[in-house]
Amino acid sequence: MDYVLETLQNLADQTAFKSLGPGNYLMIMVACLFLFLAIKKGYEPLLLIPIAFGMLLVNMFPGIMAEPMKDPVTGIESAGGLLYYFFLLDEWSIFPSLIFLGVGAMTDFGPLIANPKSFLLGAAAQIGIFGAYLLAIAMGFSDMAAAAISIIGGADGPTSIFLAGKLGQVQYMGPIAVAAYSYMSLVPIIQPPIMKLLTTKEERAIKMEQLRPVSKLEKILFPIVVTIVVVMILPSTAPLVGMLMLGNLFRECGVVKQLQETAANALMYIVVILLGISVGATTSAEAFLQWDTIKIVALGLVAFALGTAGGVIFGKILCKVTHGKVNPLIGSAGVSAVPMAARVSQKVGAEADPTNFLLMHAMGPNVAGVIGTAVAAGVFMAIFGV
């Protein structure tokens, strides 16, 4: 009988209930909220579901993120947790670069080529990044930590992870990544009030002229020229911009359909699963429930709002300069949440005039924002000599 009781006690001691604290239960609730938003509300489910599940796993079994340990007596090294090895690929910037390869393979840069003014709108939306950088320094973060946090303003999860790893801010990578991906998924909620506040109904109802056709040669030359120009000026952007443009060249050249399909589908989805679950696994209660995390989430929201506002305000300026030919709403798509931000521009414009079709016009600033965020990351790396 004693043996049975001892066995039952040992089993009870091995359950997660024995080791979980209040913080773990809170993080489990947050994970369930993310799953609800992803499944029920459809907010970026491809990202939120893996992140939320990684959050669940690490808060019930912290060992899944354990680092390898060497026995001081025998010298034998024990294996680390499964998700620890996935996370190393985030830290080494491999997953973010592969995500950019897939994004490039899926993206049509035609609207940006047809309307080069979109580059200006994409650049204007990066004001949120540099505004958040200054705010983060004012709130007590180091220069490098502030730079890593500020990239959240571009609503670009892979670039946020990439820069945090390059600047050695691994301790903040979890909160930064979760904030970036959360705000990407909440674009339809966060952006419309800002867009409506800064524009009139007449401005929102402006119809833009149809974009000119873009030739195949232009689409082939675009990724090559952008790579040469950007990487020559900022060599540190090569992993992101280079992979983005390589993926796009796969798409546009027409002679490597198998590579394009692999990069845009199988490879992309595999990387999203592994990146998402490993990012979620950085949110253990001990690491995540800290004052710095709250500040990072708040700074990310401010950065994202500033980026949206910067794009809309510059869109208003272009509207005046072109005598009403540019709808300011497309400026909000200058953040990097592709194609969600462009769809929000379309939705808000259609509310003012149901016959208004802004989606393709908004895609120009949207994809310009992806390039702009990568360039902003390159600027920070150049500043800090990384």
What are the structure tokens assigned to 12, written together? 């009870």
Rounded CA gap, 48 and 66, in Å? 23
Rounded CA gap, 164 and 152, in Å? 11
**What are the pLDDT digits (tens) for 164-213?**
989 988 888 888 888 888 787 788 888 999 999 999 999 999 999 889 99
**What are the pLDDT digits (tens) for 361-379?**
999 999 999 999 999 999 9
- At residue 10, does pLDDT exceed 80? no
Element housing 69 (H / E): strand 69-70
* pLDDT average, residue stretch 65-75: 81
8 Å CB contact between 99 and 107 = no
With b for 16 or more beta-carbon neighbours within 10 A and e for fewer, the 45-83 pattern comes to bebbbbbbbbbbbbbbebebbeeeeeeeeeeeeeebbbb
**What are the pLDDT digits (tens) for 102-111?**
999 999 999 9
What is the Cα 298 distance to its own chain's centre? 16
Q: Residue 69: pLDDT band by 50, 70, 90 thresholds? A: confident
Quick check: pTM over 0.85? yes
Q: Residue 14: pLDDT band by 50, 70, 90 thresholds? A: low
8 Å CB contact between 372 and 153 = no
**What are the pLDDT digits (tens) for 118-172?**
889 988 888 989 888 999 999 999 999 999 999 888 777 889 889 998 998 888 8
- At residue 289, does pLDDT exceed 90? no
Domain map (residue ranges) of the chain: 80-383
- At residue 327, does pLDDT exceed 90? yes
Q: Residue 71: pLDDT band by 50, 70, 90 thresholds? A: confident
Three-state SS at 139: coil
* pLDDT average, residue stretch 267-289: 90
Rounded CA gap, 91 and 75, in Å? 26
8 Å CB contact between 125 and 335 = yes
- Give the residue among 337, 331, 285, 338 at the shortest CA–CA distance from 312: 331
